[in-house]
Structure 1
Amino acid sequence: MKLALEPHHEAFREEVRTFLAEKLPPELAEAGRLNTSAFSEPQHNLPWLRILNEKGWAAPHWPEQYGGTGWDEMQKYIFASECAKAGTPSLSPMGLQMVGPCIMGFGTEEQKAYYLPRILKGEDYWCQGYSEPGAGSDLANLQLRAVSDGDDYVLNGSKIWTTQAHHANKMFCLVRTSTEGKPQQGITFLLLDMNTPGIRVEPIITMAGEHEVNQVFFDDVRVPKSGRLGEENDGWTVAKYLLEFERGGGSSAGLEAALERVRIMAHSEPGTGGNPLASEPAFMRRYADTKIALEGIVVTEKRVAAALAGGKNPGPASSMLKTARTETMQRIDELAIEAAGLYGTVEQTAARQPGSNIEAVGPDHSLTAMPRYLNNRAASIYGGSNEVQRNVMAKLLLGL
């Protein structure tokens, strides 16, 4: 596992940098810099997706036969790193990283031919219907009923914490089609249209004052059985496969960029006595500890990448990465809040909207510190709480 770049990888990095310098519009770069949520709003990430798709770079982790790039793992890492440094809008992972691979693994040829090109082109914008008011990390407890009626299922119930459901035109959804046997045995995986009659989306405003998540209600919603992915009552198999990509997908590139922002802040913001915060041993010790943790994540990512290159899925290592990434992210956010000082406590929702003419209070780098901190508190819960991930690791890795 080599960390140094080979000459052809150096050349590739220059190609990516040139592409970003030429093709990333300033307004999208600003949107990426100011984004504080898990991923950007569709008015920013969809234009960037289409630019990437035109280049053939929209889905680096997809197989070439479905529109992937054919890059090796180092090229994927370089691309993610350079995008993070350039501040590109973060693409929605729901289609590209989550349901897309599931469609490849479990879908019919008709489903693959229909959905996969639409994901690449941004014609379908997906949300995830997993959690419910009584079923979060205990996902097998879900109760959204799907009753068979001819060629359709009729859905009644609700989903919650549904990210960007108010923007999505598609949902991949877990429903209960049977109450017999173990809870996991009666779950089915459905692909459905969000404009289907009977679907209602209600906003949930986060601590950061943002409309990112929602509760979605289903009232006698008819979903064609042709939208089922996999077999009836075998949706738990598909769901576990998808969660491995949700937990293991992504990269440390965004964390590296965030930690670099903290380093710059620490050298420009005063600590006690008026000296730069970077001169304070206590702060820099926490910074160094976080940087070491991040290096461990980078190495683990490369191990998972090697497994993926060999045709394997992420497996329990995805739980390791999910836990390590989210907790390191939160440590970085805490350092950023400390570096921002009092300016980090000012609520400035309007000033951090892309294209806003409202002047920020304090340095620009303090503008997003608190919203990122607040939004990322949920990172150790979504995708399965980190307590659940440790149970997975204990069982599958340690045999406990």
Structure 2
Amino acid sequence: MRENASHIPFSELVSVNPPPAGKLSGLVPYVGMADVTNEGRLARIVERPAAEISPGQPCFRDGDTLVAKITPCMENGKGAFVRGLNGATGAGSTEFHVLRPRPGVDPRFAYYCTRSRAFRLEAEAMMTGSAGQRRVPAAFFSRYAVPNRTLAEQQAAADIIDAVSAQERAIEASIAKLRSLRAGVLLRAFSAVEGGKVPDGWTRVALGNVVPRVEYGTSEALDRNRQGLPVLRMNNIHDGKPEVSDLRYVSVPVPARLELRYGDVLFNRTNSIDHIGKSGIWREELPRASFASYLVRVNPDPSLLIPEYLVEWLMHPVIRQRVRSISTVAVQQVNVNPSRLLELEIDMPIERETQRQIVESLHVLDEQINRERTELAKLRKVKLGTVDHLLAGNG
């Protein structure tokens, strides 16, 4: 590396897409695009026979960095620091660039350089190709400048970011533990759902006995014009509640009966097989909103069933499986006929107070999870700011 320059081309720190050291054989560790996260981590490593690895697929080893080259994976942050191969050579998707640190370069420093906002923005600006198939060329790494640091300075910067990353992983582990605890509480509270004898104080009836009617949402065309009425779509339901950060809007008048009201229960009747049946409850997250026809409103009779209990029942793993079993396959999606949904049997406490107690025990855990999520979001902002401050190239 040049001693007097404040910034140097990234390619002086790393070798880009180095060739494999030898011929692959046996079972080869393999990483596809789905095996890395938007946070820049390896989610899993699978194995593939060497015969299935084509000559054009990139190879890597421990200490290398994977960077997604194709849109939108690159912009979303897809990539990973490679570890856990124990001396083996791995192979991956052709949509990865492999960066191998040169001698005298801390591998973590090279990896963290790819996690800055400046790196993503400049890589995006240099993408080539048509829409939907745009890629970052290998030449980008010769043009992108990174801070010129001694090995000791690289290690110090990487140590600081590692410390923040350790806190990040600790919070993620806490969230996972709370989610596991919630799943256990859900399974115990809804044990009657598994079938068999109905407990004392409970009843088992067709859902249609406690949900008087099902209402379809609007079928009007939607757009991004914020002057219209916000409309919830199938991707706006997450973890039992609406997500209103990515909305579409309807520009024509919508009947008043199709506007959402506090406490409305929404059921996703059309989606992929993994997401069909997602449900949530509307808590007036927006002053006014409607819902698209891929969703249906399934409000219960409030004298028999509280809406919060209905949502928890709809999200139960056993019920999600029953919903899948009554779905029909359409083009790239599956659909649930609401009439079939109302035929499913719901197990529920007769007393609404008991229903509330069950829901409250779950919501206490939800509040803890949400607090941890908030802390995680704050920490990730701190981490990104730290990376930008220490490692972003601006030469």
TM-score range, shorter chain: under 0.3
Higher normalized strand content (fraction of residues): 2
TM-score (norm 2): 0.25
Whichever of the two has the greater Rg, that structure is 2
Higher normalized helix content (fraction of residues): 1
